[in-house]
Amino acid sequence: MTHFADFEALRAAVGTEIGVSEWLTIDQNRIDEFAAATDDPQWIHVDPERAARGPFGRTIAHGFLTLSLTVPLVNQATSVDGITMGINYGLNKVRFITPVPVGGRIRARVTLDSVSDIPGGVQAQRTVTVELEGADKPACVAESLVRYLN
């Protein structure tokens, strides 16, 4: 994990890779729970028997599940000390490139694109690339905006 002591240390890292998370295995239970929570029970996600005959050969994670997991994965990869909170401000340019199959392992690679001052803290723009183990292309790429408040 990359720890930043303060906002100045964070600013100094603009333009660099600031962290890589551990691998996380995506199991069917996680997919099923996400489907239930989001009312999205499409068969490619929740019906292993039918999905085995489908285009992916097995169930796949929802793209939005993969995107949602960027929060804990990024938090595992990097942190900023001395803040009262970090809040998600939004996303830009989200792309779901490679489907994540059940049993697949993902991790987040984080690059810091910019840091700008806001009242009470800073806003950081990060490119989060969700890698899928064994795949040539990432599962997801998104520009993430987070506000660190002190």
| 3 state DSSP class of 75 | helix
Task: Please report the pLDDT score of residue 25 as a whole number.
Answer: 99
Task: Please report the pLDDT score of residue 63 as a whole number.
Answer: 99
Q: Which residue has the tokens 């996600």?
A: 45
Cβ contacts of 72 within 8 Å, gap of 6 or more: none
Residue type, position 60, single letter: I
Task: Please report the pLDDT score of residue 24 as a whole number.
Answer: 99
- CA–CA gap between residue 21 and residue 2 (Å, rounded): 10
Ramachandran angles phi, psi of 69, nearest 5°: -75, -10
Break the chain into its structural domains and give their ranges.
2-25+61-149
| Tens place of pLDDT per residue across the chain (150 aa) | 999 999 999 999 999 999 999 999 999 999 999 999 999 999 999 999 999 999 999 999 999 999 999 999 999 999 999 899 999 999 999 999 999 999 999 999 999 999 999 999 999 999 999 999 999 999 999 999 999 999
Task: Please report the pLDDT score of residue 41 as a whole number.
Answer: 98
- CA–CA gap between residue 17 and residue 75 (Å, rounded): 14
- Closest C-alpha among 58, 56, 149 to residue 103: 58
Burial (CB < 10 A; 0-12, 13-18, 19+), residue 22, is exposed
CATH topology assigned to domain 2-25+61-149: Thiol Ester Dehydrase; Chain A (3.10.129)
- Closest C-alpha among 91, 82, 84 to residue 63: 91
Task: Please report the pLDDT score of residue 109 as a whole number.
Answer: 99
The answer to whether 59 touches 42, Cβ cutoff 8 Å, is no
